[in-house]
Amino acid sequence: MIAAAGENEALGKDNDLVWHLPDDFKRFKQLTTGHHIIMGRKTFETFPKLLPNRVHIVITRDRNYTAEGVIIVHTIEEALAKVENDENPFIIGGGKIYTLGMQYADCIELTRVHGDFEADAFFPIINENDWEIVEKEYHEKDDRHAYAFTYLTYERKKQ
């Protein structure tokens, strides 16, 4: 999974992000390029166009939904079946899709945006009994980033 969430787990409001972090966009592109990206329909519809060099998989309950250049599925399990040959596919949102995918994930690339935000979509709570932080990189706010943020890499603990 890859996400950016506020301290209160906020992801976005009205199908949009509530912050603009250029370095986080660069990191997202770097990590996801060349891989499958799994998302819900609402997340997909926020894109102005397909993201280059990625296979888009869109989960929707609408059996009649169509979109050019994407793979349409109706469950998280169907989506995961489409990525069997990709060693590092990413679930990229939104809130409901993250919740559905949490049980299947083995790594979470989370950008923790330092602030509480008004939102209508939220990242699920990360259970620290199941996950451990293996990498952490803090970034101060600056003239291009209105908020400080930390890149956190979580790996699922071995049971």
Give tens-digit pLDDT for 6-39.
Answer: 999 999 999 888 999 999 999 999 999 999 999 9
Domain interval for residue 16: 2-156
Cβ atoms within 10 Å of 14's Cβ, excluding its own: 9
How far out from the chain centre does Cα 154 lie? 13
**Residue 7 belongs to domain with CATH number:** 3.40.430.10
The number of domains in the chain is 1
The pLDDT tens digits of the residues spanning 33-70 come to 999 999 999 999 999 999 999 999 999 999 999 999 99
Q: Are 96 and 40 in contact (CB under 8 A)?
A: yes
CB burial readout 37-74, b (16+ within 10 A) else e: bbbbbbbbeeeeeebeebbbbbbbeeeeeeeeebbbbe
Cα 31–Cα 32–Cα 33 angle in degrees, nearest 5:
100
Predicted TM-score of the model (pTM): 0.95
